[in-house]
Amino acid sequence: MGVRIPVTILVLLAAAVGQAQAQTVDGIEQAWRGWATQYGRKTSGLAVVHGGRVVREAAMGQERVGEPVPVASLSKAVTGVCVAGLIDRGQLSFETPLSQALAKTMARVGRPVDPRLSAVTISQLLVHRAGIAKQDVANAPLADYLRTQTARRTAFDVQLGWIFRHRLAADPGTRYVYSNAGYLILGAVIEEASGRDYEGYCRDTVLLPLGARTAELNPAWRIMSSYGGWRMSTADYARFYQAFAPGNPAIGPQARAWMMSPEGKRVGGGGVHYGLGTFVRPTPTGGGTFWHWGAWTYNLRGAYDGTLNASYSAFAVRLGAIDANMVVHIEPNLGKGGGQGVLDRTLRGAAEAVRNWP
């Protein structure tokens, strides 16, 4: 004869198991899977790094653990950290104007029609205060270009030409306007300052030392390069995000002090500012909270490379107070109202609840 266990005891046992799982990294995965179910997302990947170590990788649907995925605008942090290295080595400064940083490039492609752009500094580009129009001049001509040219090369000179023929929408330094064009320009700055191609320089000096071994420019979308072109596994991006941990050698003392200072970098209220390709909120411990969203949707028939079709979102967050990084990739693109804020809050809450890290 079987032993009958009261329902109340079973409920309490289940609750205890759930609470125990919530106190481990299992709770983060459960929160991510619950969010995906709530918002009808069947293809996604998750990686969690704690204390510099990968403690969880998971995938669902068409995604596979360890496979490279495109990260869209999360690429900007790669570019930002690469620029920081050039500054810490004395090859650039935050106040270097483009007339100096791109002197050789401008001799080749021509000078901007708006002289104010030549005076824009590296700092202003990094924090989206270069005065570039909200309608992104780096992407507006893209469709016409891709009908006759490949998306598989970076084409910095061509894209700089698109940007240089437009006047600025505002005086540099006066307001924050998020811009792909600014980070496209920074990719060209990296090439001129380093004397190397953008991808090879950033991979060798930043990504590989941080353990991001799958990192490369997406072969199908190299045109997006320094503002949106990188792909790597979610775990490798989480490894890369450890660059923002206090004392990590990927960012030297000079660049780190600049990054953490909100002066001239604020984005609205709430104590948030923009730094080296990522949003920053300083915290009393752990150096701060860092995060960024990325997304790309594109559908072009009859392109030079055939039909170009892409749709995905990516999210990265570093909680410095608990030394944890979390990265999520989702297909297709979430779009507006796709649960971005809910995912952010859900992951943060789950990570902060962990008491027993592996």
Tens digit of each residue's pLDDT (9 = 90 or more) over 181-211: 999 999 999 999 999 999 999 999 999 999 9
Q: Write down the pLDDT at residue 137.
A: 79
Return the biggest CA–CA distance within the chain. 90
- Average pLDDT over every residue of 7-21: 44
pLDDT tier, 121 (very low <50, low <70, confident <90, very high otherwise): very high
What is the structure's pLDDT at 109?
97
At 7 the pLDDT is 44
Provide CB contacts within 8 A for 158, sequence distance 6+: 145, 149
Question: How confident is the prediction for the chain on average, in pLDDT?
Answer: 94
Instruction: Output the pLDDT for position 5.
Output: 46
pLDDT digits (tens, 9 = 90+) for 266-324: 998 789 999 999 999 999 999 999 999 999 999 999 999 999 999 999 999 999 999 99
The pLDDT tens digits for 233-246 are: 999 999 999 999 99
Whole-number Å distance between alpha carbons of 248 and 256: 10
Spatial distance between the Cα atoms of 204 and 220, rounded to a whole number of angstroms: 21
pLDDT above 80 (res 17): no
For the question of whether the overall pTM of this predicted structure is more than 0.75, the answer is: yes
pLDDT of 230 strictly over 60: yes
Report pLDDT digits (tens) over 77-119. 999 999 999 999 999 999 999 999 999 999 999 999 999 999 9
d(CA 83, CA 178): 18
- In percent, the amount of the chain with pLDDT more than 90 equals 90
pLDDT at 2 over 50: no
Our CA angle for 96, 98, 99, nearest 5°, is 105
For the chain, percent of residues with pLDDT exceeding 70? 94
Q: Give pLDDT, residue 21.
A: 64
Contacts (Cβ under 8 Å, ≥6 apart) of 300: 143, 146, 147, 307, 308, 309
pLDDT in tens, 48-86: 999 999 999 999 999 999 999 999 999 999 999 999 999
List the one residue out of 67, 28, 41, 77 whose CA is nearest residue 330.
41
**Domains of the chain, each with CATH number or no CATH:** 28-353 (3.40.710.10)
pLDDT at 19: 56
Residues 6+ apart with CB under 8 A from 295: 72, 73, 312, 313, 314, 333, 334, 335
Cα separation, 265 vs 275, whole angstroms: 7
Sign of CA dihedral 118, 150, 134, 291: negative
Is the Cβ–Cβ distance between 228 and 62 less than 8 Å?
no
- End-to-end CA distance of the chain: give it in Å, rounded: 41
pLDDT at 256: 98
Rounded distance between C-alpha atoms, residue 260 and residue 314, angstroms: 24
Residue 325 Cα to chain centre, angstroms: 13
pLDDT of residue 268: 83
Distance CA(284)–CA(38), nearest Å, equals 34
Q: Quote the pLDDT of residue 140.
A: 85
Residue 153 predicted with pLDDT over 90: yes
Mean pLDDT within 134-139 = 78
